Structure 1
Amino acid sequence: MSTFFMNDRKNLINDVIEGAILTSPFKNLAKLDADTAIRVVVRSDWDKKKVALISGGGSGHEPAHVGFVGKGMLTAAVCGDVFASPSVDAVLSAIVAVTGKAGCLLIVKNYTGDRLNFGLAAEKAKTLGYDVELVMVSDDISLPDNKQPRGIAGTALVHKIAGYAAEHGQSLQQVTEFAQQAIAATRSIGVAMTGCHLPGDVADDDGASRIANGHVELGLGIHGEPGVSIIKTHNSKKIIAKMVEKLQASLKKKDKLAVLVNNLGGVSPLEMSQITKELVHSDLEPAIRYLIGPAALVSALDMKGFSLSAIVLNKAFEQALLAEVEVAGWQPLVKLQALPTVKAKKIAEKGKVKASANKQVGEIVATVAKTLVGLEGELNKLDAKVGDGDTGSTFASGAKDVLDLHKEKKLPLNDLAALFNVIGDRLATVMGGSSGVLMSIFFTAAGQKVSEGSELSESLLFGLARMKHYGGADLGDRTLIDALQPALEALHHKPGDIKAAAAAAAKGAKATSTMKKANAGRSSYLSSASLKGVKDPGAVAIEEVFAALAK
């Protein structure tokens, strides 16, 4: 089964081109209206007075090459099928469409198909009277002994530098020389943990799964070609160190660099930020003046990998790379600087609470805590039917902690506001999950109200309201609120009448067994059949606590 979203494989590239043109933010792109097999995107604002820049190659490297067409970069992009060079006729059509007296420069990645097809098109164009030059990008340093280094992500840097020269009216000879200088100053190396899937191929295609788990391949090509060596780790710091070592071997210590961090298509933004962090903390950091990305500039479909492209800067390159452009795919340079920080005051720790005694309050605390500890097994079994089986353990962990503090006489039992705040702090720390935070909100908010002079029952209802506000559950949603709210309301109407509160809690808990739908918590994912006849575990906990207090 294919892993691609697509309609008609035969028309895939035409569809992709249309989508890219329609979403161009500068509205400066157009498709060359010729044979459907001629897939060329051109600048719609081009007037042929300046040197035209044409690049292209196989599709699958988006945003290259269409994403670099626009003011300040390419004049046209010629699109082949996925990983396949465009035809000679397509390249020639592009040359004829955009080239004026100033001439045209073809920027080609160093692959046989692209060299031959673009080269033949250039020769044909010359016979038609066009002034055409061609440069080949060969920035891949992963195979140092290769006489034909591949052109990979560094191609985007060449597009940018040559585009600046052309936009500023330089001659074809000057633009060509500037591009050649950029090629000589650029080196790239890539790494991947999986290859890529081609449109229409099955998900476990050999090209994508060749690399063993826990390994990465250094020098993997942008078409899935095998790399030069295997690194037995996925650790980003170690991988960057190896790549930097390779880059430094081809650089001089005095070189100042702009480094493009290129996503090959399948790496998450989170990982790309991690990779960038490792780069700026690597041995290459003293040489880095600018970063480009992290972003996909020259991708390889969905390849789980990335590449680093470093260009040795001079004043002219720096000026060209910093110039603004009107293209969708380029990323502006960011000057590397020390990590900016903003000083903030440390949140002062709450002062130590002074323990105090209150026999009645102490008995209530002990009764509630012991009840919840004793219910651990029963509540877990109940929760296993409608949740993830840990309600009892969650409540018991909080109760044990509070009970230990009580036994050690560390609770401010004679100060309800302070007591509620201590309990709130402890439950948020030891209970875990959403239950701990919800109960912490309940006690913290109630403590706030008590400190303001409110009655206990009113304060507890305020705590409940805050818990409902942040938790999103309400009466009837099949949660502990269905037992807690009736109990607290009963206490509010008849202060001190624990038996009335216990009866209300029991009635509310029983009602949860007849509710067909849970609207909060893990139970909300279950069918009504799974819930039928089963009380909500949290509601049962509240019911049993009030029952124990009423005895």
Structure 2
Amino acid sequence: MSSKHFFDDPTTLVTTALASIPLTNPSVSLDLANKIVYQHSPTQGPSLISGGGSGHEPSFSSFVGRGLLTASVAGTIFASPSAEQVRRCITTRVRKDAGVLVVVMNYTGDVLNFGMAVEKARAGGCEVDMVVVGDDVGVGRGMGGKVGRRGIAGTCLVLKAVGAAKERGATLPQLSNLARQTASNLVSIGASLSHVHVPGRSIDTASDELAQSEVEIGMGIHNEPGSERKTTDLPGLVKTMLSHCLDTSDSDRNFLSITPDDDVVLLVNNLGGVSVLELGGITNEVVQQLESDWKIKPVRILAGTYMTSLNGLGFSVSLLKVTDTGLEGSSMLELLDAPAEASGWTAAITSETWQKRGAAKKQEEIAVGEEFQPGNLQLDPAVAKSAVTSALNRVIAAEPDVTNYDTIVGDGDCGIGLKRGAEAILNMLEKAKKTDDALTFLQNIIQVVEVTMDGTSGAIYAIFLNALAHGLRQNSPESPQPINAEIWGKALNSSLQSLRKYTPAQPGDRTLMDALFPFVETLSESGNVESAARAAEKGAQGTKGMRASLGRTVYVGGEGWQGVPDPGAHGLAELLLGLSEGLKK
């Protein structure tokens, strides 16, 4: 776990975070003394209140706004607010003329404190109802005992449905029934790679911290232990999580029966520390397994940050079985799709847009190639394939070194990018039709490079190779003849000049130009590929100790860069050495 925070005082952290909410949503106000966020001009009808310990943002304070909560009450980090805070919220911060519904998650502190406040408000003559949500299947019946299931991210779907129904004029009894109905058709489970550290607390170096390769399945949102730890990859983890949610033969965990005929809403929730990129990959894995293993195609898919555990390095999956709400003109999906003026609710896709999904007939991708005119320069296809294969294999073998060098002087992606391009070209060479036309052979390689290699290196290789094709065409004779070193040299020189239009890099700038220039120059002068490759190698090694004037290396401080060559130059030199070796075979 990471114990570094920008705020080390948890009290200051909670109060300043709460103070930020009215800054991002002018429709809400803050009672800082009681940690209450509330709508200052709520619409008519029942009020909807929720809350709990801080550390789960955007739940629940950032869910306050039209179409969602009327108010929320926050405790300190991972601790329930007091009954007095909740009572003041009910009696002084929301409308009470049409009643108040309180929705909380199933945690002892929340149930007791919110419950006590509800009873006090009732005693004072206020019509109040309370619904407790427990959707977590991570801890089964045996372990949960009398306490029952914990509340986790599925609670957000309950609040959204009820909040939308409130705006559409539902009464307090209707809202209470909807909340209970939605909660009873929910199953959720979380998993995390690490426990979290609460700001201001001493660092816990207990032996129960997860090992590097472990994942905890069923971990709660307050660092509570889950049901098991295991070493697995993402597909294996998702398989276990979905099984816990959907396997009807598991008597300990089977809280809800969902069949392929049911409409299902999927929520993939970020526990706080997962990147948006990774959460996208996780969502895709969950959707694919739901369809392949369970024949379930969700009618709605929500993915994002809804209920966190501070910066928890994990995610949760929630499945809601769609049922009839009993509210005329307000289906469950319409309620979930309805807009909400709350800064923490990020799902913005309308019902109309969702209904269009799958309406357009899927069309298979048809590869439409641009017209390409072959030239009159011929090569031996077997020799060309052998030489290029040798070059690409050498690049792949050099990837660890290139990656290591780029980790020291750049962002670490150079080696992976070169390897990805090399593997794709090798795959193309195995499948492509044999050709003795040099331009066609080169064009096949260019098409792969343009699609598979990204970043600066990918752009440079693509520009250079396209310019090389243009140079070969310019030097193509009127009648077919074998290509020779002289023609290669002329074409390489012209492509080098074209490349200079797009980058100011020159030898001495610590870039791949330190390998490319000497290769082209030596090949043009000698016509010997081996000599040219050795010149490229010498140029690449010469970048050691050279201070960069272009690229990310310019910004790298500290030590270490002096002892390694430029990654791009080293990778290119390895490619050219491999090409030379292949031509000698």
Is 1:198 the counterpart of 2:198 in the alignment? yes
Aligned to 1:78: 73
Please identify, of 463-472 and 415-424, the stretch whose mean Cα deviation from structure 2 is larger. 415-424
Aligned to 2:328: none
Alignment map for 1:8-407 (pairs within 5 Å): 8-24=9-25, 27-32=26-31, 35=33, 38-46=34-42, 49-95=44-90, 96-141=92-137, 142-145=139-142, 146-149=145-148, 150-201=150-201, 205-206=205-206, 210-234=209-233, 235-243=236-244, 244-245=246-247, 250-251=256-257, 253=259, 255-267=262-274, 268-286=278-296, 288-316=297-325, 317-330=332-345, 331-332=347-348, 335=354, 342-346=363-367, 356=378
Judged with a 3 Å threshold, the aligned counterparts in structure 2 of structure 1 residues 439 and 462 are, in CA distance, closer, same or farther, namely: same
Name the SS of the counterpart of 1:281 in structure 2.
helix
Q: CA deviation at 1:133?
A: 1.7
Q: CA deviation at 1:86?
A: 0.5
- Alpha-carbon distance in 1 for matches of 2:321, 2:574: 70
Contact 2:51–2:72 (CA under 8 A) maintained in structure 1 = yes
Judged with a 3 Å threshold, the aligned counterparts in structure 2 of structure 1 residues 28 and 212 are, in CA distance, closer, same or farther, namely: same
Name the SS of the counterpart of 1:326 in structure 2.
coil
Letter in 1 for 2:158: V
Q: CA deviation at 1:487?
A: 9.8
Letter in 1 for 2:108: T
Contact 2:446–2:465 (CA under 8 A) maintained in structure 1 = yes
Name the SS of the counterpart of 2:299 in structure 1.
strand
Q: CA deviation at 1:451?
A: 1.5
Cα deviation code 1:260-295 (max 9, x no counterpart): 222222333244334433443354443x54234222
- Alpha-carbon distance in 1 for matches of 2:231, 2:525: 68
Q: CA deviation at 1:78?
A: 0.2
Cα deviation code 1:423-455 (max 9, x no counterpart): 9799999x9998898567535413313424699
Name the SS of the counterpart of 1:196 in structure 2.
coil
- Alpha-carbon distance in 2 for matches of 1:122, 1:257: 33
Judged with a 3 Å threshold, the aligned counterparts in structure 2 of structure 1 residues 443 and 260 are, in CA distance, closer, same or farther, namely: closer
Letter in 2 for 1:517: R
Q: CA deviation at 1:298?
A: 1.7
Letter in 1 for 2:27: N
Judged with a 3 Å threshold, the aligned counterparts in structure 2 of structure 1 residues 319 and 523 are, in CA distance, closer, same or farther, namely: closer
- Alpha-carbon distance in 1 for matches of 2:455, 2:136: 49
How many residues of Structure 1 are paired with residues of Structure 2 in the alignment? 497
Name the SS of the counterpart of 2:141 in structure 1.
coil
Letter in 1 for 2:315: F
Letter in 1 for 2:266: V
- Alpha-carbon distance in 1 for matches of 2:299, 2:461: 49
Report the TM-score, using the length of structure 2 for normalisation: 0.68
Judged with a 3 Å threshold, the aligned counterparts in structure 2 of structure 1 residues 425 and 280 are, in CA distance, closer, same or farther, namely: closer
Q: CA deviation at 1:476?
A: 4.5
Alignment map for 1:379-458 (pairs within 5 Å): 441-452=463-474
Q: CA deviation at 1:240?
A: 3.8
Letter in 1 for 2:548: A
- Alpha-carbon distance in 2 for matches of 1:73, 1:67: 10
Name the SS of the counterpart of 1:318 in structure 2.
helix
Name the SS of the counterpart of 1:105 in structure 2.
strand
Q: CA deviation at 1:58?
A: 0.4
Name the SS of the counterpart of 2:286 in structure 1.
helix
- Unpaired runs of 5+ in structure 2? 326-331, 409-413, 478-486, 580-585
Contact 1:517–1:527 (CA under 8 A) maintained in structure 2 = no
Report the TM-score, using the length of structure 1 for normalisation: 0.71
Please identify, of 449-458 and 291-300, the stretch whose mean Cα deviation from structure 2 is larger. 449-458
- Alpha-carbon distance in 1 for matches of 2:561, 2:256: 67
- Alpha-carbon distance in 2 for matches of 1:432, 1:153: 37
Aligned to 1:549: none
Letter in 1 for 2:314: G
Letter in 2 for 1:319: E
Q: CA deviation at 1:84?
A: 0.3
Aligned to 1:474: 506
Contact 1:28–1:70 (CA under 8 A) maintained in structure 2 = yes
Contact 2:272–2:305 (CA under 8 A) maintained in structure 1 = yes
- Unpaired runs of 5+ in structure 1? 546-551
Q: CA deviation at 1:321?
A: 2.1
Q: CA deviation at 1:65?
A: 0.3
Contact 2:56–2:308 (CA under 8 A) maintained in structure 1 = yes
Name the SS of the counterpart of 1:315 in structure 2.
coil
How many percent identity over aligned positions?
A: 31
Aligned to 2:480: none
Q: CA deviation at 1:241?
A: 4.1
Aligned to 2:494: 462
Judged with a 3 Å threshold, the aligned counterparts in structure 2 of structure 1 residues 529 and 67 are, in CA distance, closer, same or farther, namely: closer
Alignment map for 1:536-547 (pairs within 5 Å): none
- Alpha-carbon distance in 2 for matches of 1:8, 1:466: 58
- Alpha-carbon distance in 2 for matches of 1:302, 1:466: 49
- Alpha-carbon distance in 2 for matches of 1:19, 1:40: 13
Q: CA deviation at 1:28?
A: 1.7
